[in-house]
Structure 1
Amino acid sequence: MSQPAAVGSRPVDTERIPWIPQSPGNSFKPLRFLPEDRGWVLLLRLEPGTAISRHRHTGEVHAFNLSGQRKLLETGEVVGPGGYVYEPANNVDSWMAVGTEPVIVHITVYGAVEYLNERGEITRRYTSSTQQEVYRRFCAEHGLPMLDLTA
C-alpha cells in the first residue's frame, strides 16, 4: 500500500506581507488562499470609525480579534482583544471599528463574501480568486515580491 505524499508545514512571515488597502480605513494582509475558491485566511485592519457594510457569507467564517475593538451593528455587541466570533453560512452582518486604536482581526473565510445594498441585492462579491488578484496587482504596482500563499 502506498503512503500519501508528505506535505510540510508552510510558515508565513507576516512582516513580509504589506497591508493592502481595500477602501479608506480598511486594509488586509492575505495569509493563505485556498484552492478552487474554497476560501482564504487574512488579517483585516480597520481604522477607528471604519465600518464593514452589510454583507453575507456563503460559507462559515471564524474571526478572532487580535487588537482593538469592533461593534457588531446588528446586535450592538462589542468584541475586543481575544474575542472570537463564529458566523454560520448565509449570515448577514455589518460591523465597525470602535475606540481609539485600529482593530486587527484574524479571519478564516469559507466560500465568498457578498456585499448587499439596502434591497438585499449583491453589489460586489469577494472570493479567494478575487482577493489573490488584488494581492498580485498590489505587489506588481509596488515592485514587491509576491509570496506563494496558495494551499
Structure 2
Amino acid sequence: MLPFLVHDHKELLTLNMNEQPMYEDPLPGIKGLKVQPLFLDPASGVWALRVIFSPGVILPRHYHTGSVHFWTLSGMWHYAEYPEQPQTAGCYLYEPGSSIHQFVCPASNTEDTDTIMMVTGSNINFDQDDNYVGMLDANSIMAMLIHHCMEKGLEPANYITPGQADYTAK
C-alpha cells in the first residue's frame, strides 16, 4: 500500500538552467560573478545556486554555519588555505559545518569556472583583517536578487522555494 500523501504533487518542481537567466554581479562589492538561483528556503536555511566565476575572482573569507555540497562543472578554483587541492571540472566537494576558508578562482584560468552549490545555513563573511563584514543566507540572497532585479530593470528571478511556515489551523 502506498503511503498517505500530505502534499499532492501535481507536477515536478524543476528548472532548466539553460533557460533561466544568470544575474551578473548581484553581490555588492564583488565583480566577476554570474548567479543563477535554483532553490532558496529561508525557513530551513537551505539554498542552492549556480555560480559562474570569472578568472581572478576572490571571495571574502567566510565561516559556514552549516554544511555545503559543491560541484565544479568547468574551470578550476581552490581555497586559499588548500592551494594543493584544486577543484576542477567533475569535482564534488563536501564541507562540514564550521568550515572557514577563502574561495580563489586564479587569474591565470583560461576559462570561467561554472559551479553548483547547495548550502545549509549561513556564510559569515570577514575582511582581510578578520573583521565581520556581513552574512549570506537564503533570506539575504532572496532580498539581494529582488533589489538587483529592480535596480537593473530585470525580470524577477525564477527559482524553487517552499511555502511560508504557518499554523495547520487557525
- TM above 0.5: yes
1:97 aligns with 2:105: yes
Structure 1 residues 84, 144: CA separation in 2 closer, same or farther (over 3 Å shift)? same
Q: Say which SS state the counterpart of residue 124 (structure 2) adopts.
A: strand
Uncovered stretches (5+) of structure 1, i.e. residues with no partner: none
Q: How many residues align structurally?
A: 151
Post-superposition offset of 1:2? 5.5
Q: CA deviation at 1:4?
A: 1.7
TM-score by length of 1: 0.89
Task: Verify the 8 A CA contact 1:27 1:44 in the aligned structure 2.
Answer: yes
Over alpha carbons, which structure has the higher Rg?
2
For structure 2, the 5+ residue unaligned runs are 163-170
Q: 1:39 to 1:122 in 2, by over 3 A?
A: farther
Residue 147 of structure 2 corresponds to residue 126 of structure 1: no
* Structure whose residues are more often strand by fraction: 1
Structure 2 length normalisation: TM-score?
Answer: 0.80
Which stretch shows the higher mean deviation, 102-111 or 22-31?
22-31
Aligned residue among 1, 4, 7 for 2:6: 4
Shift of 1:68: 0.5
User: 2:50, 2:115 within 8 Å by CA — same for their partners in 1?
Assistant: yes
Matched, 1:112 2:114: no
For residue 149 of structure 2, what is the aligned residue in structure 1?
Answer: 139
Match of 1:17 in 2: 21
Please, which of 8, 23, 34 is the counterpart of residue 27 of structure 1?
34
Residues of 2 paired with 1:4 and 1:37: CA distance? Answer: 19
In angstroms, what is the RMSD of aligned CA positions?
A: 2.0
